Structure 1
């Protein structure tokens, strides 16, 4: 793994989960849809060994026509709405409900997709970290924001994801930026605990 602060290069054979993410995000790229991958898969992509059933992807808010085009494109690529039909994608996402999308006939793994809805998701969407994997590029949440937000979520698994990211990228993180997110999300105690680990 090579990281220069702007781009992260991961040199490994993609797992089946990686392949799904690369295929799904390639569709988003081809449809010119801004997206960012957040949450647990970010830790997995950067080397944490743990299972996950979903890949969380935030996308820009789209009008109905573009959302329908995305639904058609996903259907043509062999995906289906695992919780709601893809025909209802616009209504589901517009109601700030997440839509699970999986390979046809499967429930897991799935992509949990939603429209951007808060300032932190907007920050991740507008200033993502670009990861190069197997000749593809994937936009993920900035590491500093990901660490702080994982601390904010607060589960044991989230805390372990935050530790992983902090330890793997220590020395490459923008400490001022990280401290700002930690203060805004009011997770100073958790951050101090992380640093002691």
Structure 2
């Protein structure tokens, strides 16, 4: 893996999860939907060995017409809403809810999507890191922001031995020589996770 200012290049054999993610992202790209993948899959993509049932994706807010196009394309590509029909997608997301989308008849993996709703998600969306995954491209949260975000989730859960802290540790150790230290520390201060970050650096 090679991390530059705005690109992460990964060349390896794709897992079935990678293929599922790429297939879903091609739908978003075909509908010109701005998105960013956050949370657990970022760690898995970069080599952490753990299971996940969902892929978290933040979407830029869409108009009714844009959402209708996305829903129609999702249906055409064989996706369904697991808990709510895809036709309810705009109303759910507009009210701040999330919707889980999967291949028709399947439960896992599912893509948990929602509209950008806070400053952290806005930052992840606007500063998204482009990943060149073999011949495909996807967008993920910046590594520096993802580390701080995962530390906040671990801190909120009151544990530094769960998957969120381990995800943050994996990203920190994997990209320690490549990420932007000043940006990471700024995110750490912004999210109020100085103590968790200090613990991570002691591991």
Q: Is TM (by shorter chain) over 0.5?
A: yes
Tell me if structure 1 keeps the 8 A contact 2:102–2:110.
Answer: yes
When the two chains are superposed, the root-mean-square deviation of aligned CA atoms in Å is 0.8
Tell me what 2:43 maps to.
Answer: 43
Deviating above 4 A after TM superposition, structure 1's stretches of 4 or more consecutive aligned residues are: none
Deviation digits for residues 125-160 of structure 1 (CA, Å, limit 9, x no counterpart): 111111111211110000010000000001511000
Within the alignment, does 1:165 sit opposite 2:171 as a pair?
yes
Tell me if structure 1 keeps the 8 A contact 2:96–2:114.
Answer: yes
How many aligned positions are there?
197
Deviation digits for residues 76-122 of structure 1 (CA, Å, limit 9, x no counterpart): 00100011100101011111111000000011110000000001111
Within the alignment, does 1:174 sit opposite 2:180 as a pair?
yes
Q: Which runs of 5+ in 1 are unaligned?
A: none
CA distance in 1, matches of 2:7, 2:190: 26
CA distance in 2, matches of 1:50, 1:20: 16
Secondary structure of 1:56 counterpart? strand
TM-score normalised to structure 1 length = 0.98
Tell me what 1:7 maps to.
Answer: 7
Secondary structure of 1:106 counterpart? coil
Pairwise CA distance, 1:4:
2.2
Secondary structure of 2:170 counterpart? helix
CA distance in 2, matches of 1:60, 1:178: 24
TM-score normalised to structure 2 length = 0.95
CA distance in 2, matches of 1:13, 1:114: 30
Aligned positions of 1:13-162 closer than 5 A = 13-154=13-154, 155=157, 156-162=162-168
CA distance in 1, matches of 2:173, 2:83: 36
Tell me if structure 2 keeps the 8 A contact 1:5–1:172.
Answer: no
Deviation digits for residues 22-74 of structure 1 (CA, Å, limit 9, x no counterpart): 01111111111100000000000000000000000001000111111101100
Tell me if structure 1 keeps the 8 A contact 2:3–2:179.
Answer: no
CA distance in 1, matches of 2:3, 2:179: 10
Compare 4-13 and 91-100 and name the one that shifted more. Answer: 4-13
Compare 145-154 and 2-11 and name the one that shifted more. Answer: 2-11
CA distance in 2, matches of 1:82, 1:151: 30
